[in-house]
Amino acid sequence: MVARAAKMHIALLEEGHSPSSIKYILDHNIHIIKQLDSHLLTGLHAIYSGRTSVRTGAVDRSLYNLGLLKQAQTPAYAGAEVMSNLSFESSAEGLSFYKKIVCGE
């Protein structure tokens, strides 16, 4: 995954993108890669591979904190006494990371 992140970094530099913004992207991707363990990778596969799988809230929260998921927009009901549980959904950033860095597409 680190090699894929470096390859993406080089490709973006060759395309003429700003070196400072590209460095941020590389640093962010490396940070994510360092945090991934087998549970988080399994969660990524469950969300972005298109296959149905069991997801846990702890994994979803961790992926959200890494910027690989977004919080689902749930309607708030006026006068509701109980707040609904947080839910998360796929994001464009997460899908891009999954396809480019995890799968190497």
Cβ density class 44-75: b for 16+ within 10 Å, e for less:
bebbbeeeeeeeeeebbebbbebebbeeeeee
Model pTM score: 0.80
- CA gap 44, 73 in Å, rounded: 20
Residues 6 or more apart whose CB falls under 8 angstroms from that of 86 comprise 57, 61, 71, 72
Query: How distant, in Å, are the alpha carbons of 62, 64, 85, 90, 102 from that of 50?
Result: 20, 18, 24, 11, 15
Q: What is the pLDDT of residues 35-85, one digit of tens each?
A: 999 989 988 998 998 776 667 788 989 999 999 999 887 666 666 555 556
Q: What is the pLDDT of residues 22-46, one digit of tens each?
A: 899 999 999 999 999 998 998 899 8
- CA gap 82, 66 in Å, rounded: 28
- CA gap 33, 30 in Å, rounded: 5
